[in-house]
Amino acid sequence: MADRWLVFGLGNPGDQYAKTRHNIGQMVINYLASNSKFTSHKSRTEIADIYLGQIPLTVAKSKLYMNESGAPLKALADFYKVPVQRVIVVQDEIDLPFGAIRIKQAGGDNGHNGLKDITKHFAGPDYFRIRLGVGRPSGPQAPADWVLKPFSTAEQKELPDFIAQSAQAVECLIEKGLMQAQQEFNS
């Protein structure tokens, strides 16, 4: 049996946020676990245990708000004894156009409060990130307001394919490693 991976989708709890740009990470988690049932975990997360071939994955989403993601993720990693080198955070990224995917390990938080909190709780940024482009507002709208809005009608038509491709990026990173995943998905 291979070592477990932990895949964590950033987002906010509650129906009012479920279909917003900020919750695309959780949408990918829901897709990955579409044949499984989520259960509540003492780490203040909802989790599903799945397999990628013989590789066990725990996919998770926090019950807390985005800027409080670090403590639940760290508690879950500690519970399963998953080192930071096998933690993947799936996140929204306003500095990428809608539909773009970038895979990386470590690096800055680019002002993303979810990443700031995770980096603080892990005492460093060494986890993997699947950065999913949600675009920037075209007008004077604040980015914080923009990411809490639903996707446009045109984006909603493309969203199922984008989520499926993002899930494939997660799987490729686990199965083939960072360099191969970057070659295949960093558009």
Query: What is the separation, in whole angstroms, between the first and last Cα of the chain?
Result: 33
From start to end of the chain, where are the E strands?
5-9, 39-41, 45-52, 55-62, 87-93, 101-105, 128-133
Cβ-contact 91, 41 below 8 angstroms: no
Active site residue 22: yes
Which of 22, 41, 112, 121 is flagged as catalytic?
22
Q: In what order do the strands lie in the sheet with 45-52?
A: 39-41, 45-52, 55-62, 5-9, 87-93, 128-133, 101-105
So which residues are the catalytic ones? 22
